[in-house]
């Protein structure tokens, strides 16, 4: 630099380097909710030479995001900006670009805005729900149009409720095991002493109600008391029946009556011993599948086929199987097949049959059960909305 004719060099004679203009090759995901706030991963090159990169959406009016965060030479993360609903039509492609200092890029890539998700308040009295363990179910609509499970944050008090699945109408999360005092998200004691349940996704915030922990010990004691009461009631009924039977038999002739009574009591005792000796049958996977799923067809080719490890399809099938055990992919896969108008009911039943075989063979019964619960809930809600209860029953049977 020159100051009034005097030349000054940078310390250690450092040089200034010009790089190529930054480029954007792709970004993901390609959808966002109207309210914005979704993380968009951008891929390209020469990102490290940018000072303040930003993402913008052009809908006739320019909506600009907060500055993006550069992670490396070819990766940065931007936050989708909120847009005005009157300026954009839902589920329509919009123009997206990036402002990178003096460089403005507008790649020819699809980007769409979806309806905002809506989470419903708890329907219990006072919006207070009892919780005794397991998964907490929160209902709503449009929940996964522009978000996935890992993008949704659920807090109970100040602790996290880990989200395990997210469908269009339902969120499932696992609440913390420990039972602290009733707190809100900031850690302060609530007036009611209950836990505030809050949800964050993108720029949206929801309060859905309060959670009340009920200790497992209380339910265990209650279950034991109910069991004892039921056992006593059954015993009392049996005693009464036996007393009536004995009185009736005594009205018969003394000799033959006694003999018949003894025979009946002996037969009852033998039947009781047989019942006590009975145990539930346990079948191995092959026979269980043949009886319960293949309708007793033990020679079904699906059960007897063995995959040759040296075939060229083995690796592809293993990769496909790793996708099937991912809940998000499996649900999208099933819904996509359901939307195919050319697939008949028999085709759909065959796909369900094969999925059941695969998941049971690999001991994924709990995972298969969770899939069925999500799909069944969606089918019921869809039937109620369209008034097709008969069709709903048919789909449930299939």
- pLDDT digits over 78-127, tens only? 999 998 877 667 777 788 899 998 899 888 888 888 889 999 999 988 88
Q: Is residue 21 within 8 Å of 44, Cβ to Cβ?
A: no
Q: Could you identify the residue written with the tokens 């009574």?
A: 261
More confident residue, 40 or 294: 40
How many whole angstroms from its chain centre is CA 189?
30
Of 112, 119, 98, the C-alpha closest to 38 is: 112
Higher pLDDT, 224 or 26: 26
Residue closest to 369 by CA, chosen among 378, 380, 360, 361: 360
d(CA 47, CA 98): 12
pLDDT at 34 over 80: yes
213-217, 254-258, 328-332, range with greatest mean pLDDT: 328-332
Whether the pLDDT of residue 387 is over 80: the answer is: no
Tell me whether residue 218 is exposed, middle or buried, using C-beta atoms within 10 angstroms of its C-beta: 0 to 12, 13 to 18, 19 or more: exposed
Query: What is the band of 9 on the pLDDT scale with cuts at 50, 70, 90?
Result: confident
pTM score, whole prediction? 0.52
Question: Rounded to 5 degrees, what angle do the CA atoms 215, 194, 152 make?
Answer: 95
Q: Given this model, what pLDDT does residue 307 score?
A: 46
Burial track 236-254 (b if 16+ CB lie within 10 A, e otherwise): eeeeeeeeeeeeebeeeee
């Amino acid at each position: 630099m020159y100051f009034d004719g005097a030349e000054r060099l940078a310390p250690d004679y450092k040089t200034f380097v010009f790089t190529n203009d930054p480029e954007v090759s792709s970004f993901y995901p390609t959808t966002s909710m109207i309210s914005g706030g979704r993380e968009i991963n951008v891929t390209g090159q020469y990102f490290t030479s940018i000072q303040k990169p930003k993402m913008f959406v052009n809908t006739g009016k320019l909506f600009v995001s907060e500055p993006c965060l550069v992670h490396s030479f070819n990766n940065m993360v931007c936050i989708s900006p909120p847009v005005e609903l009157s300026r954009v039509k839902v589920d329509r492609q919009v123009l997206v670009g990036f402002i990178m200092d003096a460089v403005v890029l507008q790649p020819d890539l699809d980007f769409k805005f979806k309806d905002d998700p809506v989470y419903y308040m708890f329907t219990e009295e006072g919006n207070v729900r009892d919780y005794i363990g397991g998964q907490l179910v929160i209902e709503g609509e449009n929940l996964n149009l522009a978000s996935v499970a890992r993008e949704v944050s659920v807090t109970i008090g100040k602790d996290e409720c880990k989200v395990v699945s997210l469908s269009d109408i339902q969120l499932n999360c696992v609440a913390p095991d420990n039972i602290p005092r009733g707190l809100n998200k900031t850690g302060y004691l609530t007036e009611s002493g209950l836990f505030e349940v809050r949800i964050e996704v993108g720029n949206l915030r929801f309060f859905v109600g309060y959670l009340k922990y009920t200790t497992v010990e209380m339910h265990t004691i209650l279950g034991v008391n109910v069991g004892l009461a039921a056992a006593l009631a059954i015993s009392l009924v049996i005693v009464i029946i036996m007393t009536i039977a004995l009185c009736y038999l005594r009205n018969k002739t003394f000799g033959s009556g006694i003999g018949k009574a003894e025979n009946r009591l002996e037969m009852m005792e033998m039947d009781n011993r047989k019942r006590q000796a009975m145990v539930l049958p346990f079948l191995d996977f092959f026979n269980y599948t043949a009886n319960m799923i293949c309708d007793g067809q033990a020679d079904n080719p699906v059960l007897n086929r063995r995959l040759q490890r040296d075939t060229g399809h083995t690796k592809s099938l293993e990769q496909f199987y790793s996708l099937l055990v991912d809940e998000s992919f499996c649900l999208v896969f099933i819904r996509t097949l359901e939307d195919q108008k050319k697939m008949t009911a028999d085709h759909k039943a065959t796909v369900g049959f094969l999925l059941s075989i695969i998941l049971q063979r690999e001991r994924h019964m709990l995972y298969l059960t969770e899939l069925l619960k999500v799909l069944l809930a969606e089918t019921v809600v869809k039937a109620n909305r369209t008034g097709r209860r008969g069709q709903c029953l048919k789909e449930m049977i299939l």
